[in-house]
Amino acid sequence: MVLPLEGIKVIDFTGVQAGPACTQMLAWYGADVLKVERPGVGDVTRHQLQDIPNLDALYFTMLNSNKKSMELDTKTAEGKKILEQLIRGADVLVENFAPGALDRMGFTWERIQELNPRLVFGSVKGFSEESPYADLKVYENVAQCAGGAASTTGFWDGPPTISAAALGDSNTGMHLLIGILTALLHREKTGKGQKVAVSMQDAVLNLCRVKLRDQERLEHVGYLEEYPQYPKTPFGDAVPRGGNAGGGGQPGWVLKCKGWESDPNAYIYFTIQEQNWPRTAEAIGHPEWAKDPAYATARARQPHIFDIFAEIERWLADKTKHEAVEILRKYEVPCAPVLSMKEIAYDPALRASGSIVEVDQEKRGKYLTVGSPVKFSSFKPDITGAPLLGEHTDEVLAGLGYGADAIARLHKDKVV
């Protein structure tokens, strides 16, 4: 079977999470992805949070599957020459070094274009070039704070809060992926490559769109009626943290179910969908609320929405989260159990769809990882292991025309 990106050669000059998440997906969909790593060191995630001594950590294997690895010191003259050869033969180069690092190595965008005008060059930085913070090194949580996520996440009486979801890292990688694929299609039309730059701040902000919407609404009307603060607590001049409130027009909350006292995940998310209110009221044992003027409309419910949630919690008290969802689905209430990572890891449906896959990793054996969240009708991505550090160095050098003696010398000189 021909995979969609087969024949696309990618130099993966990335590390940690944002860049590797992007190039991993290119590899899943068929691109030939070569990870270029510092000799003897490699991507820092190979050694971070190791669960088995002296083995590549899961942090690395879960972000670098389906790739090849080459060790190459790109700060040496010979290493630079080899990287130039690779660039000449590639379709895509992706990097997420600290600001200026690639330039200091001698690979400015101008130089890259000279080497290969058809190359699509993908680059991740914490901030865009226009930002006053453009020189900063950035990790996930820094981006969440700078992109508007932290100030709008958490509870109003607590500090700004970081999401566990990798809004700054993997999310930026996914944005970069969209940019690279777009640039490859553009190249079909123009014959030319281009630089695709994504900042982590921008990628986080793109997911915080509704919070910018709320900022504008707040400036127009002075309050946000779907936030728990309304109508009792005055609003300030910036969007407050709304706890577990729904971000759309449908109020919702995380509600306790049977067993919450001992199980930290015995909760469901419950949404009151306006158009489904009569059935929702029936589901929770209050059919009379459908017509009661104090309950019949969203506007009437909002001032005492937490009393309504408390009443729903009383209804939930003798039901597990799964039992509750089983009942509520019959009434078309948008809801879900709060699933723990343990439940997700062993969920048969996620295994069946390929969203959680078991991968055979050299030396480690089998481990679980997240498969492709995108499903295609004509192929199913096959997730394979991640490369050992430098596993493909000799193979790549031979492909570039280096003979056995030259390869041995490069090893001896620690260029590779």
Which residues does 66 contact at the CB level (< 8 Å), separation at least 6?
A: 24, 27, 28, 33, 382, 383, 384, 386
Among residues 169, 202, 360, 382, which one is catalytic?
A: 169
Q: How many residues bind ligand CAO (CB under 6 A)?
A: 26
36 binds ligand CAO (CB under 6 A): yes
> Interacting stretch for ligand CAO, rule CB under 6 A, among 36-44, 49-57, 85-93, 390-398?
36-44
- Given candidates 32, 73, 91, 202, which one binds ligand CAO under the rule CB under 6 A? 73
Query: 38 or 118: whose CB is closer to ligand CAO?
Result: 38
- Given candidates 96, 116, 280, 393, which one binds ligand CAO under the rule CB under 6 A? 96
Q: What are the tokens at 318?
A: 């003798």
Query: 142 or 283: whose CB is closer to ligand CAO?
Result: 142
> Interacting stretch for ligand CAO, rule CB under 6 A, among 34-42, 249-257, 276-284, 360-368?
34-42
Going by their DSSP bridges, the two strands 356-361 and 365-370 should be labelled as antiparallel
Q: What are the tokens at 130?
A: 């226009």
Q: How far apart are CA 257 and CA 269, in angstroms?
A: 10
126 binds ligand CAO (CB under 6 A): yes
Residues 159-198 that bind ligand CAO (CB under 6 A): 169
Phi, psi (deg, nearest 5) at residue 389 = -60, 120
In Å, what is the CA distance from 94 to each residue of 18, 21, 117, 122, 387? 11, 11, 15, 5, 18
- Given candidates 3, 4, 9, 38, which one binds ligand CAO under the rule CB under 6 A? 38
93 binds ligand CAO (CB under 6 A): no
Query: 18 or 305: whose CB is closer to ligand CAO?
Result: 18
> Interacting stretch for ligand CAO, rule CB under 6 A, among 101-109, 224-232, 314-322, 374-382?
101-109
Q: How far apart are CA 217 and CA 240, in angstroms?
A: 13
Residues 202-261 that bind ligand CAO (CB under 6 A): none
CB of 17 to ligand CAO, least distance (A): 4
Query: 18 or 25: whose CB is closer to ligand CAO?
Result: 18
* Amino acid letter, 195: K
16 binds ligand CAO (CB under 6 A): yes
72 binds ligand CAO (CB under 6 A): yes
Q: How far apart are CA 131 and CA 41, in angstroms?
A: 32
Q: Among this protein's residues, is 214 annotated catalytic?
A: no
3 binds ligand CAO (CB under 6 A): no
Q: How far apart are CA 29 and CA 14, in angstroms?
A: 18
> Interacting stretch for ligand CAO, rule CB under 6 A, among 33-41, 273-281, 316-324, 344-352?
33-41
Q: Kind and range of the H or E element at 230?
A: none
Going by their DSSP bridges, the two strands 356-361 and 335-337 should be labelled as unpaired
What are the contacts of 279-282 at 24+ separation with CB within 8 A?
Answer: 279/331, 279/332, 279/333, 280/331, 280/333, 282/331
Write out the residues near ligand CAO by the rule CB under 6 A: 15-19, 36-38, 72-75, 96-98, 101, 104-105, 124-126, 137-140, 169
Which residues are identified as catalytic? 169
